[in-house]
Amino acid sequence: MLIVQKYGGTSVGSIERIQEVAARVAATHDAGHQVAVVLSAMSGETNRLLALARQIVEQPDARESDVLVSTGEQVSIALLAMVLKERGSPAVSLLGHQVRIETDTAYGRARIRQVQTTRLSNALKDGNIVVIAGFQGVNAQQDITTLGRGGSDTTSVAIAAALQADVCEIYTDVDGVYSADPRICPQAHKLERISYDEMLELASLGAKVLQIRSVEFAKRYQVPVHVRSSFSPDEGTWLVPEDQSMEEVTVSGVTSDLDQAKITLMRVPDRPGLAAKLFAPIAQDNIVVDMILQNASVDEKTDVTFTVPRGDVHKALEQVKNVAPEIGAEDVVYDTEVVKVSIVGLGMRSHAGVASRMFEVLAAEGINIQMISTSEIKISIVIAAKYAELAVRVLHDAFISSA
């Protein structure tokens, strides 16, 4: 079998843990498998490097930041390759540009365009364990780029897809995907299997187990992904194509996303072209807009509310305040004390009354809903941040624990 393994920052957070990873990797290789390993930087290293940059300048240049933070993965892959060689296992470490992981030019959040496999395939055929730097690539100008937080997940699945690997094993500090965050909801249980679509929704809605783009890659190329603990030999959670039995479960997971901020333009003239003028400059700034709500027009005026990642709220506000006079908005307000809570499940396609039940449960706890968004397999709401944990627990109790 050809196996791609990915280990996150806590898995390689110390020399002792790197040695433990080496033992697991070597055992897989000794069992007769071809192994490619993708590593994150050691735990806390990326934050340390960014802190150094901010000691120099308040807003570090994006290109130079990528040059800086990509060194974290260079350290971890070199250390693992050294340990493997010391153990007698053939190994070679490769940076993103050496593999040739080609990306676009969006520094700090680059997207993978292509993975060249010639060097990788040759190294594997020669019997090597190939240790690859996650999180990084190279653009057409030969500049180093990084893929954003959690980018090593994306690297590993992209490598697995390009190599047509039999499985991509993602090792983390948790032992799988849970029906809710166990730290918030003690009744949460580990899922044996989850569909790509369900995981895609959960990842986009705040679940931190997998980065959303890694799930997109897995779905597009039908890569079997096994999420498991680097500290335990137990089975984790498998990401697989959906089957009919999955639709029998109405709700598979409940999640919350605290990384939310809400911006509202008050009393905007209700006329064609308003949305285009408002959201075009925000998109040009690479800010992801999530939920959008436009109230019914009163006196030909309307309020427009939308959410963005909390870290982008001030950058988005600059663009909004610039365009507000042009579109005739009377005021701009924002709120960072909000949270998005969501329920996800393939069974929602065929079970009626899920939304009404959700709203009843929240109303019974006195939780006011500020915004609502739906798809075939999820319902998301925006509520005050102080109710985040309560909402997750009561929804899990209503839809999963009592199922």
Q: Collect the ranges in the chain with pLDDT lower than 50.
A: none
Candidates 176, 194, 292, 298; CA nearest to 247 is 194
Helices 118-125 and 151-163: angle between axes, nearest 10 degrees: 70
pLDDT at 108: 94
Q: Cα–Cα distances in Å, from 256 out to 132, 183, 349?
A: 32, 12, 21
In angstroms, rounded to a whole number, what is the distance separating the alpha carbons of residues 392 and 195?
21
Residue 296: per-residue pLDDT? 74
Strand ranges in 28-164 using DSSP code E only, listed in sequence order? 34-39, 91-94, 101-103, 112-115, 129-133, 136-138, 144-146
Collapsing DSSP to helix, strand or coil, 222 comes out as coil
Of 387, 358, 389, 383, the closest CA to residue 369 belongs to: 383
Give the span between the Cα atoms of 83 and 200, in whole angstroms: 35
pLDDT on residue 48? 95
Q: What is the pLDDT of residue 244?
A: 67
Instruction: Report the percentage of the chain scoring pLDDT > 90.
Output: 71
pLDDT of the residue at 94: 98
User: pLDDT (tens digit, 9 = 90+) per residue, 293-347?
Assistant: 988 777 788 899 999 999 999 999 999 999 889 888 889 999 999 999 999 998 8
pLDDT, position 223:
94
Cα(383)–Cα(356) distance, integer angstroms: 16
| CA 135 – CA 12 distance, rounded (Å) | 15
Q: How far apart are CA 316 and CA 283, in angstroms?
A: 9
- Of the candidates 291, 309, 290, 341, the one whose C-alpha atom is nearest the C-alpha of residue 181 is 341
